[in-house]
Amino acid sequence: MKIVIAPDSFKDSLSAQAVANAIAGGLAEVWPDAELVQCPMADGGEGTIEAVLAACDGQWMSTTVSGPLGVAVEAQWGWLEQTRTAIIEMAMASGLQLLTLEQRDACLSSTHGTGELIRAALDAGAQRIILAIGGSATNDAGSGMLSALGARFLDGNDQPLIPSGQALAQVQRIELGGLDARLRDVRFEVAADVDNPLCGLQGASHIFGPQKGASPQQVLELDAALGHFADHSAQVLGHDVRDQPGCGAAGGMGFAAKAYLNATFRPGVEVVADLVGLAYALDGADLVITGEGCFDAQTLRGKTPFGVARIARRKGVPVIVLAGTLGEGYADLYAHGISAAFALTSGPMTLGYACRNAASLLHDRARDLARVWRLAVSR
């Protein structure tokens, strides 16, 4: 019996590796001789670096950078020496996680710190940089990132601007002569599941601006500023990508990555699956167990269980989900390669209790699942 354990992290509770360990412990009680292959996963958001480094024997790196509002933060990133690959989570340098609710400011926040992480990766000799761009606090179209890499943005008086969402409206000239020449030799991949364009009602400002602190009036102003910046970018680059899917991701970071860095876009879970070798791990497997904190209709939007199920389906391997909770629409996933889904809770309990005891709850549910599965295969 070969079982692949490929869960995401449980937010505010357990890392993906801790989830996999707990599930493996429960399964081993029933199947002590089973081959249990742990393959911790992520979907390009929180936990991406941790999952990849655990699977690939990578190295944690740390760099002091500017946070979203200019305050210095210590940001971590991942390094795979053998393939000269850097994994950067934008949220580490430019994320909402670095701000209180009151500090969120889509007009003033900047991606400068993410650019500093890219520069650190270049200094390390990176030939491939993976940008996981979930959880951003910014709406500056990646201009701060570009500034950290040597680009200059000037106003009508030829004065340099400090990049931010609101500063984009003042851009009259873009200078790329100082852009780091090493960028030309690096392959950029953006791990993102957002397919929004840069501007408009489905664009970065309208869809994501409010959660970053933008008022209704500021949303309109920020959207206009993004369009203005896209106009000037098209003039200097000779091509316009603002309407391409994904350019509205992370407050327009997707736009900068595609337009200025020639980045390719892939669903985050696919990027992680390739890096950790999930498809290879599934060869000869009898069962896959995956999971996440909340398994619901939103899982269809590229979250880990959905991505794992797509890959497992191609291999003909059944997939079972162990989740913190089963939310509205979770049964819709049964049409997409999920065989069954189970919640951790064994009875009434508070969210705090469930989070504190998630490891033991996972262990017990995995044990119970193994006992049921053993009945099925023994007939």
Q: What number of CA atoms fall less than 13 Å from residue 348's CA on the CB side?
A: 0
Angstrom distances, CA of residue 241 to CA of 49, 130, 377: 28, 20, 53
The pLDDT assigned to 223 comes to: 98
User: Which of 369, 304, 286 has its CA nearest to residue 40?
Assistant: 304
Distance in angstroms between the alpha carbons of the first and the last residue of the chain: 15
DSSP structure class, residue 89: E
For residue 36, give the H/E element and its range. strand 35-38
Angle at 245 between CA 241 and CA 250, to 5 degrees: 90
Question: How many independent structural domains does the chain possess?
Answer: 2
What is the DSSP track for 271-299?
A: HHHHHHTHHHHTTT-SEEEE--SEESGGG
Based on the domain organization, do 33 and 79 belong to the same domain?
A: no
φ/ψ region of 55 (left if φ > 0, alpha if ψ in -120 to 50, else beta) reads alpha
The pLDDT assigned to 275 comes to: 92
For residue 266, give the H/E element and its range. strand 264-266
Write the pLDDT tens digit of every residue in 314-350: 999 999 999 999 989 999 999 999 999 999 887 787 8
Based on the domain organization, do 241 and 107 belong to the same domain?
A: yes
Of 218, 239, 266, the one marking the end of a domain is: 266
Tell me if 108 is assigned to some domain: yes
The pLDDT assigned to 353 comes to: 82
* CATH at 68: 3.90.1510.10
* CATH at 353: 3.40.50.10350
Based on the domain organization, do 17 and 37 belong to the same domain?
A: yes
Q: How far apart are CA 3 and CA 26, in angstroms?
A: 12
Based on the domain organization, do 175 and 324 belong to the same domain?
A: no
Based on the domain organization, do 254 and 335 belong to the same domain?
A: no
Q: How many CB atoms lie within 10 A of CB 174?
A: 18
Tell me if 73 is assigned to some domain: yes
Q: Among positive and negative, which fits the CA dihedral 104, 106, 110, 114?
A: positive
The pLDDT assigned to 366 comes to: 96
Is 249:202 a contact under the CB 8 Å cutoff? no
Helices (H), 16-163: 16-30, 48-56, 90-94, 112-123, 143-148
CA 320 to chain centre: 23
User: What pTM does this model have?
Assistant: 0.87
Tell me if 147 is assigned to some domain: yes
The pLDDT assigned to 300 comes to: 85
Q: How far apart are CA 374 and CA 1, in angstroms?
A: 10
Based on the domain organization, do 245 and 210 belong to the same domain?
A: yes
Based on the domain organization, do 281 and 361 belong to the same domain?
A: yes
Based on the domain organization, do 318 and 337 belong to the same domain?
A: yes
Tell me if 180 is assigned to some domain: yes
Burial class for 214, CB neighbours closer than 10 Å (0-12, 13-18, 19+): buried
Tell me if 76 is assigned to some domain: yes
Tell me if 300 is assigned to some domain: yes
Based on the domain organization, do 300 and 261 belong to the same domain?
A: no
Domain extent, residue 22, equals 2-41+276-378
Of 266, 299, 315, the one marking the end of a domain is: 266
Angstrom distances, CA of residue 199 to CA of 139, 147, 225: 11, 21, 9
Tell me if 271 is assigned to some domain: no
The pLDDT assigned to 376 comes to: 76
Based on the domain organization, do 26 and 76 belong to the same domain?
A: no
Of 266, 285, 318, the one marking the end of a domain is: 266
Q: How far apart are CA 255 and CA 269, in angstroms?
A: 20
Based on the domain organization, do 13 and 87 belong to the same domain?
A: no
Angstrom distances, CA of residue 25 to CA of 251, 318, 365: 41, 20, 11
pLDDT in tens, the chain (379 residues): 999 999 998 887 898 999 999 999 999 999 999 999 999 999 888 889 998 998 888 999 999 999 999 999 999 999 999 999 999 999 999 999 999 999 999 999 999 999 999 999 999 999 999 999 988 999 999 999 999 999 999 999 999 999 999 999 999 999 999 999 999 999 999 998 788 999 999 999 999 999 999 999 999 999 999 999 999 999 999 999 999 999 999 999 999 999 999 999 999 999 999 999 999 999 999 999 999 988 998 888 788 999 999 999 999 999 999 999 998 999 999 999 999 999 988 778 788 888 888 999 999 999 999 999 888 777 6
Tell me if 128 is assigned to some domain: yes
User: Which of 45, 220, 251, 217 has its CA nearest to residue 137?
Assistant: 251
Based on the domain organization, do 152 and 54 belong to the same domain?
A: yes
Buried b (16+ CB within 10 A) or exposed e, 219-238: bebbbebbbbbbeebeeeee
